[in-house]
Amino acid sequence: MHLRYSYRIYPTAGQRAVLARAFGCARVVYNDALAARKEARKAGQPYPRSTDLQKLVITAAKKTPERAWLASVGVDPLIQSLRDLDTAYRNFFDSVSGKRAGRPVGLPRFKSKRDNRQSLRFTRNGFRIRSNGKLNLAKIGDVRVKWSRNLPVDPSSVTIVLDAAGRYHAGFVVDVEPEPLPEASAEVGIDLGLTTYAVLSDGTVIDNPRFLRRAEKKLKAAQRELSRKAKGSRNRAKARIKVAKAHAKVADTRMDWLHKQTTRIIRETQAVYLEDLNVRGLARGPLAKSVHDAGWSTFRRLLEEKAARYGRTIGIVHRAFPSSQLCSACGHRDGPKPLHVREWACGACGVLHDRDLNAARNILAAGQADRLNAPGGPVRPGVAIPRQARPVERGTRLGDLQPTGVRAAGAGGIPRL
Ligand SMILES: [Zn+2]
């Protein structure tokens, strides 16, 4: 399996200048190739092959006065730039034909000098890690790296990224064997909340971290500052960098925290069940800010990646599953509850429930039942259930439920419960 290991790097002023030129060259090659494909399409010609494009926008272009400067950077990142374009097209075609699940992918777009993220990819021949720990990039030189953790094996490629806050990162792709952890007995259901970050079916409460709130306050202050500066002024440019830095700080802090939470959960439990929240759908609604802040989709992605790596199972319970309406003790469906109702007593058996904990327990039960009912028996460990997971089926406690009439996001909708 492929994993990405990212590190902060500190190019010198001279190296930054060379990198800036290389970013520009990679972008121009990408845009030229995209333009060539668009023109071919307009002229009704067949889709140009990658090798032909490479000759056109790199080899031949270097010999023209307008593109002679392409020769000043290594050829490897330029070829990788064309590969990225191929990937972008492939994703588009697969999305149109229905081969690719998830959000529809649009046609590749031209890159701009003003994009927030500039990048450059080197394959194995284009970089080397020196014995002194520096990262050698072809035609750029030895760059200082902050090795925040060890690389497990030799990386197959590295992407150099410049973000809006002016920071440089090196993202290495490494191919590692899965390393299953000793089997754990615990399984948990997770309810993602708004007042708390998440509640686990074993009673663990994960709170929204306070340090994140502090970083966000700084970000808001920086944004206010920016909005007061005159357009096009130097001070506005400075304020914009400040905002970008504050953004980066929030993102880093959140990521770090999410890594810690997900690692702990994966270590301690054999199977994790989550609700298939339609995060994209929610993000457009009134809860937008909280949803984005919570970073739920990242939380889930990290869980899935770590599960695959460490031999754990992730099960996604369909989002139409009424996890907050069912009594986890007796299975009685107690009807919808407004968000402010944090506790309720079951109308059938009288058990007093904490809303989130009860939901987490229901998610656990539904996930386990779903897994047992899956065609071919329980899902193999380490194989994440695909995004559009099958809904919970009869044979759980849901047999007596009324049809919900709720339609799921994405293709297919849901069968009636
Ligand atoms: Zn009950």
Q: Taking a C-beta distance cutoff of 8 angstroms, is the pair 310, 266 a contact? A: yes
Distance 346 CA to ligand 1 centre (A): 5
Distance 156 CA to ligand 1 centre (A): 55
| H-run or E-run covering 343 | strand 343-345
Residue with tokens 């407004």: 338
Residues of the chain predicted below pLDDT 50: 279-280, 283-284, 288, 377-417
**Token pair recorded at residue 353:** 């429930």
Q: Taking a C-beta distance cutoff of 8 angstroms, is the pair 177, 307 a contact? A: no
Q: Taking a C-beta distance cutoff of 8 angstroms, is the pair 337, 362 a contact? A: no
What's the rounded Cα separation, in Å, for the pair 169 and 161? 5
Distance 84 CA to ligand 1 centre (A): 54
Asked if 154 is an active-site residue, the reply is: no
Asked if 191 is an active-site residue, the reply is: yes
Q: What is the pLDDT of residue 379?
A: 44
Dihedral angle, C-alpha 258, 262, 265, 266, nearest 10 ° = -170
What's the rounded Cα separation, in Å, for the pair 76 and 64? 20
Distance 353 CA to ligand 1 centre (A): 9
Q: What is the pLDDT of residue 219?
A: 86
Q: What is the pLDDT of residue 286?
A: 52
**Token pair recorded at residue 50:** 């990658």
- In 31-149, the DSSP E strands lie at 118-123, 127-129, 135-137, 141-146
Q: What is the pLDDT of residue 81?
A: 94
Distance of CA 43 to CAs 36, 46, 110, Å? 10, 9, 19
Structure letter (DSSP) for residue 203: S
- In 147-207, the DSSP E strands lie at 157-162, 168-175, 187-192, 198-200, 205-206
Q: What is the pLDDT of residue 217?
A: 85
Q: Which of 275, 304, 334, 370 is catalytic?
A: 275
Longest distance between any two alpha carbons in the chain, whole Å: 82
Q: What is the pLDDT of residue 216?
A: 80
What's the rounded Cα separation, in Å, for the pair 274 and 276? 6
Q: Which of 32, 84, 334, 356 is catalytic?
A: 356
Distance 397 CA to ligand 1 centre (A): 12
Q: What is the pLDDT of residue 142?
A: 97
Distance 336 CA to ligand 1 centre (A): 14
What's the rounded Cα separation, in Å, for the pair 247 and 255? 12
Distance 368 CA to ligand 1 centre (A): 20
Distance 221 CA to ligand 1 centre (A): 48
Q: Taking a C-beta distance cutoff of 8 angstroms, is the pair 77, 23 a contact? A: no
Distance of CA 307 to CAs 32, 268, 272, Å? 41, 11, 9
Distance 349 CA to ligand 1 centre (A): 4
Asked if 225 is an active-site residue, the reply is: no
Q: Which of 76, 84, 191, 370 is catalytic?
A: 191
Counting DSSP H helices and E strands in the chain, the numbers are 10, 14
What's the rounded Cα separation, in Å, for the pair 385 and 317? 10
Q: Which tens digits make up the pLDDT trace of 236-267?
A: 888 888 888 888 888 888 888 999 999 999 99
Angle at 195 between CA 192 and CA 199, to 5 degrees: 40
Q: Is 159 helix (H, G, I), strand (E, B) or coil?
A: strand
Would the pTM of this model clear 0.75, i.e. be above it? no
Q: What is the pLDDT of residue 113?
A: 85
Q: Is 6 helix (H, G, I), strand (E, B) or coil?
A: strand
